[in-house]
Amino acid sequence: MLIDALGPAGPLNSAHGLVDDLRAVLADASCPQWMGTAGDGYRARRDEAVAQAHTVLEEISQALDLVPSFESECAKTLAAAQRAMSTSCKVSIDMALSGRW
């Protein structure tokens, strides 16, 4: 597994931004000008869809929050493994990680 030296910061910030944007759109998703049975039916279905979308967005946010700790654990494990190996093995791992293998 190749580990990105720059980490997941850029894509994570983008993903968090998308989640925040979706939450804002869902908060504004209403049609108060719709009246009668059609309007009531729309709002009932919309409220259900918004609740489900918020549940999914919360799960996505929780998963995004785990990525940095996963990257950190991978880096720690790799560093510990490299310290435990002989110099020749370290050279092979460095070559493999840099794509020169």
User: What are the residue ranges spanned by the domains of the chain?
Assistant: 9-72
Percentage of the chain lying above the pLDDT 70 cut:
75
Residue 98, pLDDT > 80, answer: no
Q: Could you tell me which of 55, 30, 28 has the C-alpha nearest to residue 42? A: 30
Residues 6+ apart with CB under 8 A from 56: none
Name the residue with higher pLDDT: 71 or 39. Answer: 39
Model-level pTM greater than 0.75?
no
Q: Are the C-beta atoms of 67 and 8 separated by less than 8 Å? A: yes
Q: What tens digit of pLDDT does each residue of 1-43 get?
A: 444 545 556 676 677 778 888 888 877 777 778 788 888 888 8
Please answer whether residues 68 and 7 qualify as being in contact, where contact means their C-beta atoms are separated by less than 8 angstroms: yes
Residue 6 has a pLDDT of 52
